[in-house]
Amino acid sequence: MRVLGIDCGAERTGYGLIESDGSRHRMIAAGCIRSAARQPLERRLLNVATELRSLLSEFRPDVAAVEEVFFALNPKSALKLSHVRGVALLAIAEAAVEFAEYSPLEVKMSVVGYGRAEKFQVQNMVASLLRLPEPLESEDASDALALAICHATRACFHREARA
């Protein structure tokens, strides 16, 4: 199964693509879509949409995993994040790719085993699970890979439970 994880952000949207059988995962691609904070929001959204469409077209994942909306202390930031998430969901739907969403707690539990894990713990476990020589520098790309790993693991578990 090929899973694209997307970690939405108004200035940095991380992405991570893995190939997985549910227990073994291999990273295919990871990175960050950057948008300048000084650009108008609509230009940033267009940039994210364009880049995600390109990734979806190039890699043709079976499923895309995105983090659920969560409540932030700053309502303005939460609203911008929701706009980016909407653009990501639209790109996924346009590509006719299956969609899954997970809470930050579910992702951390699945990858680290502890729902309140710190960013560095997620980065280290992602590197370990993907057998990378060292953790990725980009927290956004690492979080996106964690989303992909979470989905691959859970999808395998649900398939086994139904069998």
Any idea which residues carry the catalytic annotation? Answer: 7, 67, 140
- Maximum pairwise Cα distance, the chain: 52
**β-strands 2-7, 63-67: how paired?**
parallel
- Sequence-ordered list of residues with C-beta below 8 angstroms from that of 120, at least 6 positions apart, any chain: 135
Whether the Cβ atoms of residue 107 and residue 142 lie closer than 8 Å to each other = no
Phi first, then psi: what are they for 66, rounded to 5°? -130, 150
| Backbone region of residue 99 per phi and psi (left: phi > 0; alpha: psi in -120 to 50; beta: other values) | beta
| Backbone region of residue 115 per phi and psi (left: phi > 0; alpha: psi in -120 to 50; beta: other values) | alpha
Beta-strand (E) ranges in the chain?
2-7, 12-20, 25-34, 63-67, 98-102
